[in-house]
Structure formats: C-alpha cells, structure tokens
Amino acid sequence: MELYKETSPTGSLNGGHTSVGLTAVPVCGSFPLKRGIVLRCPGPSEVNGNTDIVWVGRQNMTADSGPAGGMPILPGTGIFLPIDDPSQLYVVSTTAGQDIAWMCV
C-alpha cells in the first residue's frame, strides 16, 4: 500500500467493523467516498482476530476461488479499493464469527 501526502481535503472519515459469517453481508452503508476504502482482516493474535479467510466482492459472490468467488483477504492482511460507493461491497467467510475492519475516506 502506497502512502502519500494529501494536498486537498478528503472529506469525512468513516470506519468500523462488520461481523462476517456464512452469508454475504454488506461491508457498510452507503455514503460518498473521495478516495476509497481500506479493508483489514484482523489476524489471530489481534482483538477480534480471525481464524479464516474473509472474501470480498459483489452481493452474489461466493467464499471460494471459483468463477463466482470473491477476493480473499487472509487473516492479518488488508486491501485498499479505490471505489466511490462502499455499499456495493459484500463480505462472506466459510467460518462464522469472523471480522472485517473498514475505513473509508
């Protein structure tokens, strides 16, 4: 992930955690983004740490690497997505009780 100095106001900063299980759920609500969203799957040694992969994608994606599968986020790793509407992102896992941390700018 590349860090850079922002030269113009970025707007609101929103963040939180979403409980992830066997059914795909939205990462968060809908609000306009100027830069995108960071998703992080806490590792096993962290607070609310995960034991399994969290998959991110559209509403009808699956928790696997098949044709309808989402993008895997391994425990202890994260991803930045330069999107403008976070309500389009869903998460799912093959294990109940997982967590995804998110921060939007």
- Look at the alpha carbons of 7, 2, 53, 71 in this order and tell me if their dihedral is positive or negative: positive
Residue 19 DSSP code: E
The structural domain count of the chain equals: 1
Count of C-beta atoms within a 10 Å radius of residue 95:
14
Question: Does residue 30 form part of some domain?
Answer: yes
Question: Does residue 42 form part of some domain?
Answer: yes
53-77 pLDDT, tens digit per residue, is 999 999 999 999 888 999 999 999 9
Question: Does residue 19 form part of some domain?
Answer: no
- Under the banding of pLDDT at 50, 70 and 90, the label for residue 6 is low
pLDDT beyond 90 at 14: no
Question: Does residue 88 form part of some domain?
Answer: yes
Nearest in space to 70 (alpha carbons), one of 83, 88, 85, 84: 88
Question: Does residue 2 form part of some domain?
Answer: no
pLDDT beyond 60 at 3: no
pLDDT beyond 70 at 44: yes
Task: Tell me the mean pLDDT in the region 11-32.
Answer: 88
Distances (CA, A) of 45 to 6, 19, 28, 39, 102: 32, 17, 25, 18, 18
Distance CA 54, CA 56 (A): 7
